[in-house]
Copies of this chain bind each other. A is one copy, B any other.
């Protein structure tokens, strides 16, 4: 059966986005084929949700590639470390368990050529940790807010600050946390106005949404 796939070359022109590959349900064989094609085209590519065991094999083949275990992000070549406190986009996480998802957003933005800054461990159960950093958080144009368990952080921030807020529920938690469904639903039913939400653990999607907003700003 012929498995050659079609790189969506027109996407760049249409949307201004490079292609991104969802790694979790693809075999190493298929991913190798895809990566070879990008290597030939001398093009970088981002793979998300790539399991560590598969990444290890691919790193053995594509020796200059980059992989971050906690965020499961793989890139043919790392762009640069773009962590920058003067960035337009602030990524805020509730707990240190949410780092993986926050970093998926961070690396995706890096891949799109955009700087961002990650602030973590400011969950609402210790409110002063958030309030202490509020003035700094206020300086970003767009906020990506990442939280698991009861997912209350975007609501509290949304009640305090006027920026666009992209909420990312994470699958951190147990019991009624239900793999992130509680955080997702809490964010969708937030009493704070105008918060939007992406899929559970979808740091990548949050980054792309922020990217769409940035392009709008640039257009102006």
The A interface is mostly helix, strand or loop, or mixed, namely mixed
Which residues of A150-197 have CB atoms within 8 Å of chain B's CB atoms?
Answer: 150-152, 155-156, 158-166, 171-182, 184-197
A53: B residues at CB distance < 8 A: none
Interface size class of A (residues with CB under 8 A): 35 or more
**Given A172-B25, A205-B195: A150 touches B189 (CB 8 Å cut-off):** yes
CB of A56 within 8 A of chain B?
no
A120-B175 contact given A194-B211, A209-B194, A212-B163, CB 8 Å threshold: no
Q: Is the CB of B164 within 8 A of A209?
A: yes
Q: Indicate if A97 sits at the interface (CB-CB under 8 A).
A: yes
List, in ascending order, chain B residues with CB within 8 A of A14's CB.
Answer: 160, 162
Q: How far is the CA of A177 from the CA of B151 in the complex (A)?
A: 14
